[in-house]
Amino acid sequence: MSDCSGGSCSSCSSCGSSDDPDRLPPGMLKVYDLNQSTADGVLVWIETEGFGEDLRMADVSAELLGAARGLSDGRVFGVVFGGQEVKALYPRIFGYGVDTLYHVRERDLEVYRPEGYASCIVSLIKRIEPATVLIGATSRGRELAPRIASELGTGLTADCTGLTADGRRIVMTRPAFGGNLVADIECLRFPQMATVRPGTFPMPEARDGTGTAIYWQFSGGLSKEIMFEETVTESGEDIRDARILISLGDGIRDRSLIDVAESVARKVGGMVSCSRSLVEKGWMPRSRQVGMSGRTVAPEVYIAFGISGAVQHRAGISGAHKVIAVNSDPDAPIHHYADLSLIADAGDILREMDRALRGSRSGKQ
Ligand SMILES: Cc1cc2nc3c(=O)[nH]c(=O)nc-3n(C[C@H](O)[C@H](O)[C@H](O)COP(=O)(O)OP(=O)(O)OC[C@H]3O[C@@H](n4cnc5c(N)ncnc54)[C@H](O)[C@@H]3O)c2cc1C
């Protein structure tokens, strides 16, 4: 016999609660009313890099702020962490279209701490109830976003390569099944969350603007203490910043061609990047890998030497303005994708370029 005492329990169906349209699947927390009309606008986590006077906004955050305005008729909110020095970023943040900026100035959160950042952003989301939350798919963003989604019990589409608005709903596009499919995903709950790859949206024009800044007080506790912090960098350069990329693939059979490519890149003011094959061979560091599991780049010119043009590689170069392919196989898929194709030996062309540019000064284009 059931001990149902009438009306309010959800553990059996005798009182009719199974018909409750608001009832959520077991284990799912009801955070706020999904069908409410107030969930609106876009919240962007504004990631910062550097310290003190060198503090700057991550490019991907600027890109997301630029995109947010086009994705919503509602408000654009920003949340940023850090001390007094963050105020120098306000004009730029407002210039990118933020109406209201929540500045978290907790001393304990001046240094990135995933649990603390997540709990704090969750408390903010509960207050402002945005329809959409966007976070850059950087290493920190990829760590932070799932924590927020899990605390809220909402869905997260990770590593998006496109976003389009359908009213308050956002259609989130991302590669699926190893990049063989491109999936359009909609989240059934609010807030709908996405991490978005750097370079997916163009960098908005830098303007100075005004808006409202609110200091956000975080009252939650932090369960961990940082004993020390060390930043390890391979080099200060990032292939995502390069205007010209000399990119190398498995077709360059001779490792010494990397030096030739570096020499060419220096002369044209570019950088050397690569396909995953060369990273797997241990010839190039992962920070130089372009593609789905590497970096998304958007150079003015991308020259692919001995790269077949697999879909996972192409996923990283969709923002490139001009793609030039140098591949000895006329049937290589990269030729269908390239603006200019050379059916030629990668080594011959690289050495010829290096010879032709002899005498050119570094950085000259
Ligand atoms: C989940 C997943 C994620 C992945 N992520 C990435 C990623 O982020 N980035 C990435 O690059 N790959 C990625 N890959 C791997 C991808 O599928 C391909 O295997 C890889 O891109 C192939 O690299 P490649 O073009 O250098 O080599 P290959 O496919 O072996 O192509 C070499 C090319 O060089 C040409 N060639 C040979 N000799 C010469 C010569 N002398 N001169 C000129 N051309 C020559 C050949 O015709 C060939 O087209 C991923 C795969 C999976 C499953």
Q: What is the pLDDT of residues 8-19, one digit of tens each?
A: 333 333 333 445
Length of the chain: 365
Mean pLDDT rounded to a whole number for the chain: 85
Question: Which of 197, 253, 293, 350 has most ligand 1 atoms within 8 Å of its beta carbon, as the pocket-test mutant?
Answer: 293
Q: Which two tokens stand for residue 93?
A: 């943040």
Atom from ligand 1 closest to the CA of residue 326: 43
313: Cβ below 6 Å to ligand 1? yes
Note the pLDDT tens digit of each residue in 55-96. 899 999 999 999 998 998 889 999 999 999 999 999 999 999
Binding site membership of 283 for ligand 1 (Cβ less than 6 Å): no
* Nearest alpha carbon, ligand 1 atom 29: 308
Q: What are the tens digits of pLDDT across the range 157-188? A: 999 999 999 888 899 999 887 667 889 999 88
Mutation probe of ligand 1 site: the residue of 292, 296, 297, 352 with most atoms within 8 A of C-beta: 292
Q: How far is CA 251 from CA 28, 255, 313, 328, 365, in A?
A: 50, 11, 14, 8, 26
Count the alpha carbons within 13 Å of 295 in the hemisphere toward its beta carbon: 21
Instruction: Report helix angle 139-152 to 114-128, nearest 10.
Output: 50
The tally of CA atoms less than 13 A away on the side-chain side of residue 20 is 16
Residue ranges in 53-135 assigned as alpha helix (H)? 59-71, 90-95, 114-128
Question: What does the pLDDT look like over 273-317, one tens digit per residue?
Answer: 999 999 888 899 888 999 988 899 999 999 999 999 999 999 999
- Nearest Cα to 175, choosing from 332, 292, 318? 292
Number of the ligand 1 atom closest to the C-alpha atom of 278 = 26
Q: How much is the CA Rg of the chain, to the nearest whole Å?
A: 24
Indicate if ligand 1 lies below 6 Å from the C-beta of 258: no
DSSP codes, 217-265: PP---------------S-S--GGG-SEEEEE-TT---TTHHHHHHHHH
- Atom 51 of ligand 1, residue of closest alpha carbon: 312
Distances in Å between the alpha carbon of 4 and those of 7, 14, 24, 65? 8, 7, 20, 51
- Decide: 346 in ligand 1 pocket, CB within 6 A: yes
Give me the amino acid identity at 23.
R
- List domains and CATH numbers for the chain: 17-216 (3.40.50.620), 239-356 (3.40.50.1220)
**Other residues' Cβ atoms within 10 Å of the Cβ of residue 117:** 22
In the reported structure, the alpha carbon of residue 306 is separated from the centroid of ligand 1 by a whole-number distance in angstroms of 8
Whether the CB of 273 sits within 6 Å of ligand 1: no
- pLDDT tens-digit series, residues 249-276: 999 989 999 999 999 999 999 999 999 9
Confidence of residue 40 (pLDDT cuts 50, 70, 90): confident
Q: Is the separation of the CB atoms in 65 and 96 below 8 Å?
A: yes
pLDDT at 38: 67
pLDDT in the model for residue 8: 35
